[in-house]
Structure 1
Amino acid sequence: MTSATAIVTGAGQGFGLALTASLAARGTTVIACARDADRLHAATAALPGVVPLAGDVTDPAFREELVAAAGRLDLLVHNAGELGPSPLPTLERYPLDALRGVLETTVLAPLALTQLALPLLRASATGTIVTLSSDAAVDAYAGWGGYGAAKAALDHLAAVLAVEEPDLRVYAFDPGDMRTAMHQRAFPGEDISDRPEPGTVVPSLLHLLDERLPSGRYRGADLVAGSRR
């Protein structure tokens, strides 16, 4: 993605930050967004070609600001998401207001941002959209009903968008478990040090982008640099 422009949401930490750093190292101009302004600016201060924009992707005005800041756009990565309550509640006890928040951040905001960005992506020779998925979107885990339902909906949006926009690449990318703040919130008090660092998963996504594999859902565990298992 050399000389490209990308928007990465949820770029202040975790996988979003690791991806932003890798794209910047390749010469990509990255519009990096996150809700925590101080953390975002501190995390990206030393990264060349990164434009940090603090805001909430559920805010329509901020979404317009993101697209306007890009000017042109080759890659849109929907990394921002919402876990929901911690500890994770069963569906019997799931607060509906909390579920609305999960769906707003994880499903509605990515769709709204995509709608704004589509004209720019269509104008790019390599227009690509990536939505971050999860195994909770396809497998049933107790406590993961809210988050999993949101990710399943996002997966389906990506699949339909790929049919509707055949000239674009649209990927739902499942990075697998990672050592992130969100994952720690899902397992409060547990040791998650056995999970891989986000930076170790980024090469799988970069391979997907470089090879421009057909639109679809991909697992990071099934992709390695230079080949697909």
Structure 2
Amino acid sequence: MAFKAALSGYHQCVCDFKLKCLAALCIIMRHPVWVYSVIVNTITAYPPVTKISYLGEIMSLLGRKTLCLIAGASRGIGRAISLAIGSCLAEDSDIILMSRDKSALENVKREILRKSPGVFVYICQCDLSKPSQETFLDCLRPLMNLRPNNHYDVSMVIHNAASIGPIDRPALKLMNSEELTNYFDLNLTSTILLNNAFFQLCEKDFSTERVCVNITSGAAYHAIRSLHLYSAAKAARDAFFRVLATEEPGIRVLSFNPGPVVTDMQVEIYSRTFDSDIKMWSRDGMQNQTFQTCDYVANKLMEYLRENTFQSGLFYDAKDQTVAFKLYLMQKQNQKLASEEK
């Protein structure tokens, strides 16, 4: 504790020194007071926590004995994350794959064990569209009791399960309350209840560190036509996990945005969206290979977990494609204006 306190004091001194230098620079350059204010707020809002991670390999969240639950593990990004993390954990680790597609989960399990025979993999067939705290506890408890008195270095849950929603019509055409309830049951309520069931079973003395990974989306913060419910659910999940990070400092919370990825969901966006611009953006991204692959984003997530320098509760992404989407629309608009002028 004394060592951590000394480190904290060191970083505070460095931060204070930087602020004094910037203040002097603003005076010399005759910048207005608001410039200095913006700089101060930026520096103090993001403390230099990254330097602490390089003090020892033990800070990494990978390469250690881990219990890892992956929700939505049967295909796409969830499958890629399952395969990637299986190769990154210490032997004798336990991985629980959750989805309603048992056959697909069995295939993922075989692939993990082929690459990483030293880990244990369990199948948890569960319908996340029907959330229930009791159901989740009943699904997880038997699997976690298969090896009683087992202590882990890390207990981790990765929330990947999601659906795109009714993107065939605009927001003002959403008039069915049952449809809305069903959507948020799968994409919000089940995430909260599963998360809480997991950490109810993985209490503070269950493992040295506890980690929650929320697979989010840039759509939570950018208005993308037709992705109304998807955006709303992702934004709500992010808000929930930000609060969790402040309430539970003992749980490391990472909200990770893969960006646009070539998956079945992306194909669904292209085939079902009512918006022509979104359809072209989705088609071009897949055809021109400007969207990421599942393996790329899974490996990027492993980098975040390996380095363990992220600030708990904040939003991180694999590669910022939300700006690229805006530029894409601007480019199309300019092309349209140019053709009209001709």
TM-score, structure 2 normalization: 0.60
How many angstroms does 1:186 deviate by? 1.3
Q: Aligned residue for 2:199?
A: 118
Tell me, yes or no, if the aligned pair for 1:32 and 1:50 is still in contact at 8 Å. yes
Q: Percent same amino acid at aligned positions?
A: 23
Tell me, yes or no, if the aligned pair for 2:131 and 2:189 is still in contact at 8 Å. no
Q: Aligned residue for 2:73?
A: 11
Q: Aligned residue for 1:31?
A: 96
SS at match of 1:126: strand
Query: What letter is aligned with 1:22?
Result: A
Query: What letter is aligned with 1:214?
Result: Q
Residue 125 of structure 2: which of 54, 61, 65 is its match? Answer: 54
Query: What letter is aligned with 2:144?
Result: A
1:67-146 matches, cutoff 5 A? 67-68=140-141, 69-71=143-145, 74-87=155-168, 89-94=169-174, 95-119=176-200, 120=202, 122-123=204-205, 124-146=207-229
Cα distance between partner residues in 1 of 2:203 and 2:226: 36
Shift of the 128–201 alpha-carbon distance from structure 1 to 2, 3 Å rule, reads: same
Query: What letter is aligned with 2:262?
Result: R
Tell me, yes or no, if the aligned pair for 1:75 and 1:121 is still in contact at 8 Å. no
Tell me, yes or no, if the aligned pair for 1:121 and 1:168 is still in contact at 8 Å. no
Tell me, yes or no, if the aligned pair for 2:211 and 2:251 is still in contact at 8 Å. yes
SS at match of 2:179: helix
Cα distance between partner residues in 2 of 1:118 and 1:42: 27
Cα distance between partner residues in 1 of 2:171 and 2:267: 20
Cα distance between partner residues in 1 of 2:163 and 2:182: 7
How many angstroms does 1:221 deviate by? 1.5
Residue 64 of structure 1: which of 132, 137, 140 is its match? Answer: 137
Tell me, yes or no, if the aligned pair for 2:165 and 2:227 is still in contact at 8 Å. no
Tell me, yes or no, if the aligned pair for 2:219 and 2:227 is still in contact at 8 Å. yes
Shifted more, 69-78 versus 27-36: the winner is: 69-78
Cα distance between partner residues in 2 of 1:174 and 1:70: 29
SS at match of 2:208: coil
Gaps of 5+ in 2: 1-61, 114-119, 146-151, 273-278, 321-342
Q: Aligned residue for 2:311?
A: 214
Q: For the aligned residues, what is the CA RMSD?
A: 2.0
How many residue pairs get aligned? The number is 221
Shifted more, 89-98 versus 13-22: the winner is: 89-98
From the CA coordinates, give the structure whose radius of gyration is larger. Answer: 2
Cα distance between partner residues in 1 of 2:106 and 2:76: 14
Tell me, yes or no, if the aligned pair for 2:71 and 2:99 is still in contact at 8 Å. yes
**Could you give the per-residue CA deviations for residues 11-49 of structure 1, whole angstroms, max 9, x where no partner exists?**
000111111111111234210011111222123223223
Shifted more, 3-12 versus 59-68: the winner is: 59-68
Query: What letter is aligned with 2:264?
Result: A
Shifted more, 106-115 versus 90-99: the winner is: 90-99
Shift of the 207–70 alpha-carbon distance from structure 1 to 2, 3 Å rule, reads: farther
Cα distance between partner residues in 1 of 2:266 and 2:138: 29
How many angstroms does 1:52 deviate by? 1.8
Cα distance between partner residues in 1 of 2:234 and 2:167: 17
Cα distance between partner residues in 1 of 2:76 and 2:268: 13
Cα distance between partner residues in 1 of 2:112 and 2:300: 21
How many angstroms does 1:211 deviate by? 2.2
Cα distance between partner residues in 2 of 1:121 and 1:78: 18
Shift of the 6–121 alpha-carbon distance from structure 1 to 2, 3 Å rule, reads: farther
Q: Aligned residue for 1:198?
A: 294
Shifted more, 9-18 versus 58-67: the winner is: 58-67
Cα distance between partner residues in 2 of 1:176 and 1:109: 23
SS at match of 1:74: strand
